[in-house]
Structures are given as C-alpha cells and as structure tokens.
Amino acid sequence: MKIALVCPASLPATQFGGIMFLSLDIAKELSKNGHEVTIFTTDMDFANNAKTFNKKLPRKEKIQDFFINRSHVWFSIQLFFINPSIYFQMKKEKFDVIHTIGIRSFQSFIAAIIARKKNIPLVISDQGGLTTHPELKSNSTKRILSKIQQPLIKFIINTSRKISVPNDYEKKIFEQFCESSKIVTIRNGINLDIMNFKNFDFKKKYNIKTNFILFLGRFTKIKGIDLLLNAIGLIKDMPEFEKIILVIMGVDFGFQKIMYRMIDDLKISNKILIITNPAREDVIQAYRESKFLVLPSRWELSPLTHLEAFAFRKAVISTDVHGIPYTMKHNEHGLLIKPNAKFLGEAIIELLNNEKMCDNFGQAGFDLVMNTCNSTKMAENTLKLYKELVNE
C-alpha cells in the first residue's frame, strides 16, 4: 500500500510534540511491514523555538524504511505554516490513502484538496485540540486566526472518509462537526524502541547528587509549570523533600523568563535543575533515573509523555482535566489531582512517602503500554482502517 502522511513538522523537530511523533511512529511501523510511506511536511528545524525553518534540510530523505518530503515555509502566523510547494509534491504522486495529522494546518488543507481532486480516501487525526486548546483564544491574533481557519477545518472534515481519534474526549469534540459513524477510536501509542536507548549516568552528566522527580514539557502556563513551582515552594522545607530535587526539561514557549523569576521569588533555586532544549537521549535517561513524573497540565488531549514514563515503570502525578483521565486512571497508574498547587504538593509528598504505591503505579502503567498503548498496536489498527477504506 502507498501511504501519504501529512504533518506540519517532522524530523529533526522532535520538540514539536505529539503530532510529529504520531506520524513518525505510524511511518516507522507500516514501512517496516513493507508499505511505501512518505511523510509530507515542512522544513521546521525547531532550534529551541517554533519559528526556525531550514532550507538546508534535504528536500527528500529516507529514514529507515520511509521517506520524508519537506518543502520550505514561506511565512508563518503563530503555528500556521505556509509551504505552497507541498501541493506540487503531492500532486505528482499517486497514493492509496492520505492521512493528515494536525488538521488546524495549511498542510491538512492541501491534503484535503489533493484527496478530493484525485478521489483518494482521506483519514484525519487532530492531536491539537480542535476547539478546546487554551491557546486558540489567548490573544487577538490567535482569535482572528482561529476564525479564519474555521471554513478550512470544515472543508477538511467534510472531505475526510474517516476521523481517527485517541479517546472519547476527542470523539465528543468531533461530534460537533460530523456524524459519530465517521469517527473511529484508535488509542495513541508510543514506540517501545525508546526502552532500547543506550544507558548512561544522567546524574553524573548533570552533577545531580540526590534523587529527583521529573517534569518534561514545553515551558508554558498550559503545562502547569507555575502550579508545580508553587507546589515546590510549599513543600521545600518538608523532611520528605530534603534529599529530592525537581528536574525541569523542555523548550521555551514564552514562559521561561517568568519561570526563572518565580524560582527566585519562591527561593527554591537549590531545589530545581532546568535543562533547556534537551537531547532525546537525555530525556530517555531522565525517565529511567527519576523517582516519578509530575505533569500538572491545565490541558492535554491524549498525552504521550505520560505513556513514555510508563514504559520505564514510572508513576505519574497529573491533573484530572480534558483528555488526561482518558489516558491514565487515578489510583491505578498514578495520582490525578485538581490543577492546584496545594493538592499537587500533597500528591508529591504522598508518593515520596510510599515507594510501594509508586512501584505499583509504574507497573500498571508499564502493562498499559505493553498491552495497548504502543505504536505497534496503533499502527495495526490504523492499517486496518486504511484497508477498509481502500476496499470500499
């Protein structure tokens, strides 16, 4: 089968997040099984921001058994990247199916045009919070852009044959736009190859003398870093936290200066280590060596970071908002709390005091990713969907 995956960003922009990893993992799994897979994307290079596009990246590159076709972004408005050449790249090829991921994008609009023109089955996945993401209305520019995008989104949804969603939370969002019969639930999964990354001494590399808990994510208020820092301020002098530090790993999405200022104001700099723009191997090793993860997001759709933590048998403290309770269960895989600094501090102390509980949560999370939420299962179910559409 010849498959086109369409995405706003791909390698080397690993910091772009779940949208990129979903397309990448589908490409890896399906090409491994003999299917011809190409990711059509932009030349985003990230470089610790979402505005760097690199003309020097190869226009077409083979990675393992699949291809990445990049085209240059002429200009961008927020995270809406305009790369007109993607139309001509896709127009000259013939596909059995097109799957676009991250539909609030120029790339998905082009994918829908090509699918309609050539009568190719179009599958869409969002992963970006179609109507619920807090950033959509965070300033006047984004509100205007969101309104402009509405007819494009309706066109993409109407053109699609099927909509793939990771959970019932996102299914309810799409039911505002189409019949539920058009929607298929396929659980998100992580690539279990991360467990085979080379082991090294993370603590030695970063001169960490104590145990640590881990936050991994973009430096933005949406990820709840302010809640986490305030929580650390509340528990910093408690005996359970005496020999623990918090490691924060991520990239700046506008909150980094405020984050540093909060750390100074709360007088917790001795309890915090910040690693900016971390290499992927450092992230994986941080999972391995951490006590547990603390991810107090105010919004998530179907988070992958939680699942990656589970792959290393780590418990997770997170929030009971939006799509998070559809990914992990309270008192089964970790603790889910209201987005509140006091509750968060109490949850951290609770896990620090109960190693057995931590181990049980970590094992339950590990079982979840091994049995259900892995890229092999996700790709199998996605391929089954593709075949049904082609056979129709």
Assess whether 263 and 114 both reside in one domain.
Answer: no
Give yes or no for a contact between 244 and 352, defined as CB atoms under 8 angstroms apart. Answer: yes
Assess whether 379 and 358 both reside in one domain.
Answer: no
Here the tokens at position 317 are 């403290």
Assess whether 33 and 179 both reside in one domain.
Answer: yes
Assess whether 80 and 128 both reside in one domain.
Answer: yes
Confidence (pLDDT) at 139: 73
Closest to 209 in 3D by CA, of 243, 175, 247: 243
Assess whether 127 and 235 both reside in one domain.
Answer: no
Distances in Å between the alpha carbon of 28 and those of 12, 67, 103, 113?
15, 10, 21, 26
Assess whether 367 and 379 both reside in one domain.
Answer: no
**What's the whole-model pTM score?**
0.88
Assess whether 284 and 160 both reside in one domain.
Answer: no
Distances in Å between the alpha carbon of 206 and those of 34, 200, 282?
42, 12, 10
- The whole-angstrom separation of Cα 90 and Cα 99 is 12
Q: Running along the chain, 392 residues long, what does each successive block of 10 average in pLDDT?
A: 96 81 94 96 78 89 96 88 96 96 94 97 87 71 79 95 95 93 95 94 96 95 96 96 96 93 97 94 97 96 94 98 96 97 98 96 98 96 97 88
Q: Structural domain tally of the chain?
A: 2
Assess whether 98 and 86 both reside in one domain.
Answer: yes
Assess whether 210 and 183 both reside in one domain.
Answer: no
Q: Give residues with Cβ within 8 angstroms of 261, minimum separation 6.
A: none
Q: Which range of residues forms the domain containing residue 381?
A: 2-189+374-391
Query: For the purposes of burial, counting CB atoms within 10 Å of the CB of 343, is it exposed (0-12), middle (13-18) or buried (19 or more)?
Result: middle
Distances in Å between the alpha carbon of 388 and those of 97, 123, 161?
11, 12, 11
Determine the residue type at 163: I
Beta bridge partners of 185: 165
Residue with tokens 């057995």: 356
Beta bridge partners of 41: 70
- What CATH number corresponds to the domain at position 358? 3.40.50.2000
Assess whether 294 and 231 both reside in one domain.
Answer: yes
Assess whether 174 and 40 both reside in one domain.
Answer: yes
Confidence (pLDDT) at 50: 62
Assess whether 78 and 225 both reside in one domain.
Answer: no
